Amino acid sequence: MADERFEPKIIAFLCNWCSYRAADLAGTARIKYEPNIRMLRVMCSGRVDPSFVLKAFALGADGVMIAGCHPGECHYLEQNYKTMRRFSMLKHTLKAMGMEDDRVRLQWASAAEGVLLAGAINEMIEQVRALGPLDWPKNWSENGKIDEAIEQLVEEHAEAMEVPV
Amino acid sequence: MSEKGVLALYWAASCGGCEIAVLGINEKILDVAAAFDIVFWPCVLDGKVRDIEKMDDKSIDLCFFNGAIRTSEQEYMARLMRQKSKVLVAFGSCAQEGCIPGLANATTKEAIFQTSYHDTPSTVNPDGIRPQTETEVAEGTLYLPFFYETVKTLGQTVDVDYYLPGCPPEPERIWDAIVAILENKLPAPGSVIGAETTVCDECPRTRDEKKIKEFKRTWEIIPDSDICLLEQGLVCCGIATRAGCGALCPTVGSPCIGCYGPNEGVDDFGARMMTALASVIDSDDPEEIDRIIHEGIPDPIGTFYRFSLAHSELRRIALPANGGSDAKLETAESA
């Protein structure tokens, strides 16, 4: 078991107009990338609210990629600039939360860049694999033996209320 | 004589401000006393937990529970009040989203104990004694509740029927909620009793296009008295915060810090702030963007999650045992 390779789960948000088509292109061109990535298509990388990324981590993702059109080439003119600023803000916050930088990645990929996207995916999977499992929910799951302590409290209350003879 | 309702109020990890806010309804507290028998209110009335334990389940009509959950005793009380109450209201920001006690999730239990029992200049503890959950003394065993690593909200601990936001809730909103309960005009269970708009809608300042090159701290500028504070570079959380306070802070030139919690439809307050602020920064250059954010928001947790860290998607910072190194903790603390 100990020798088994860690297989990270990575969630990717890809924009409809460039990056998702890059992923499609990678598929039709039979460019291989590792299967650790789960892709979600959004209309624009500007649609990706930081809460999507946070939620992915809270549900157990090991890494999150956001991919969109290159700056200046957004289908919706300038929304990916908002993605850029939002990503910087998100990364700043995640760092303060104690999360490694490499667990999030912003990747620009045009519809013609299937090779580039596949390469970025593989690179990110390797980086996250090296970091190991994130298992974020574990951070709040261990508060001690709550039920035991609570059962004991009832007894303590009873004891405290006993009138000394 | 008409049948009176039964009311209980309890506090867990909170500052007591919510109790004062209840009394802030002034003489209307007499109307509350006329409508309800108050069976339990440790801050104000003498009462025993044992008495509540002996009551029938669901025999309390309404319980206002303020405070977050950070010890086993508070968890016990949360479960007890849930069991005995028909309607349990998470009263105030601590119960709803963790509030200031929830900021303990930006550090660790060990670091908190180290500071409290060893490091503060006023602590004299030559033997390095720390409180234990059980201590044997001549008279018998003394017990203390145990202290959690992670502060929880009331909603993360037991089922909550309604949430009353605010740090503390404004007396007018408390009264509105009591009236809604008395007249049985409550929203759907699980919802927040309050406005469904943001502080900006109550703010008298004039709003125009928001484009800023630099975030400013409150001590750096004397803000113009009429223009939106965010447009002047101050990180004002009014854009993500639920209305209900009457925009008290921005009205007098102090940016909103988000004490009324996330607006309707917002799950993660910090994420909403990040989204909104990203749209305001006037730069398309990645390096300049990073500089504006890093210089302008040195403490992202304190800025975006001051009241809602325990309730946020990530709930707390990474524990050292789970990948968060001690070095990282120090960075997070000093940030």
Q: Residue A114, SS3? A: helix
Question: What amino acid is encoded at B251 in this protein?
Answer: T
Comparing CB atoms, the residue among A58, A98, A154 nearest residue B318 is A98
Which chain A residue is nearest to residue B142, measuring alpha carbons? Answer: A156
Are B148 and B70 spatial neighbours (Cβ–Cβ below 8 Å)? yes
Q: Cis ω on the peptide bond leading into residue B171 (within 30° of 0)?
A: no
User: pLDDT value at position B255?
Assistant: 97
Residues of chain A with pLDDT > 90: what percent? 80
Phi and psi at B154, nearest 5°, equal: -65, -40
- Read off the pLDDT band of A165 (50, 70, 90): low
Which chain B residue is nearest to residue A47, measuring alpha carbons? Answer: B275
DSSP for residue B68: B
Say if the Cβ atoms of B332 and A96 lie within 8 Å.
yes
- Read off the pLDDT band of A145 (50, 70, 90): confident
Q: Of A36, A40, A34, whose CA–CA distance to A53 is shortest?
A: A40
User: pLDDT value at position A134?
Assistant: 94
Instruction: Determine the CATH number of domain A10-161.
Output: 3.40.50
Rounded to whole angstroms, the Cα distance separating B291 from B155 reads 38
- Which residues make Cβ contacts (< 8 Å) with residue B321, sequence separation at least 6? none
User: pLDDT value at position B253?
Assistant: 95
Residues of chain B with pLDDT > 90: what percent? 81
User: pLDDT value at position A164?
Assistant: 65
Say if the Cβ atoms of A150 and B75 lie within 8 Å.
yes
Phi and psi at A117, nearest 5°, equal: -65, -45
Residues of chain B with pLDDT > 70: what percent? 96
Average pLDDT over residues B77-92: 96
**B309 pLDDT above the threshold of 60:** yes
**A64 pLDDT above the threshold of 90:** yes
User: pLDDT value at position A20?
Assistant: 96
Say if the Cβ atoms of B278 and A136 lie within 8 Å.
no
- Interface predicted TM-score (ipTM) of this complex, two decimals: 0.90
Say if the Cβ atoms of A58 and B313 lie within 8 Å.
yes
- Residue-wise pLDDT for B127-165, tens only, equals 999 999 889 999 888 888 889 999 999 999 999 999 999
Q: How many CB pairs under 8 A join A and B?
A: 149
- Read off the pLDDT band of A3 (50, 70, 90): low
Site of tokens 């020798």? A3
- Read off the pLDDT band of B320 (50, 70, 90): confident
Rounded to whole angstroms, the Cα distance separating B298 from B57 reads 49
Q: Where are the domains of chain A?
A: 10-161
**Chain A closest-CA separation from residue B93 CA (Å):** 20
Chain A residues whose beta carbon lies within 8 Å of the beta carbon of residue B112:
none
Which chain B residue is nearest to residue A59, measuring alpha carbons? Answer: B313
Cα-based distances in Å from B241 to B97, B129, B177, B202: 13, 43, 19, 11
Are B180 and B186 spatial neighbours (Cβ–Cβ below 8 Å)? yes
Q: A77-86, B28-37, B41-50, B323-332 — which is least confidently predicted?
A: B323-332
User: pLDDT value at position B331?
Assistant: 44
Chain A residues whose beta carbon lies within 8 Å of the beta carbon of residue B82:
none
- Residue-wise pLDDT for B260-295, tens only, equals 999 998 989 999 999 999 999 999 999 999 999 999
Say if the Cβ atoms of A154 and B53 lie within 8 Å.
yes
Q: Where are the domains of chain B?
A: 5-101+149-182, 199-304
Chain A, 57-76: which have a CB under 8 Å from a chain B CB?
Answer: 57-58, 71
DSSP for residue B11: E
Are B225 and B204 spatial neighbours (Cβ–Cβ below 8 Å)? no
Please tell us whether the domain made up of B5-101+149-182 is placed in CATH 3.40.50.700: yes
Q: Of B121, B123, B133, B7, whose CA–CA distance to B62 is shortest?
A: B7
Q: Of B108, B106, B130, B107, whose CA–CA distance to B118 is shortest?
A: B130
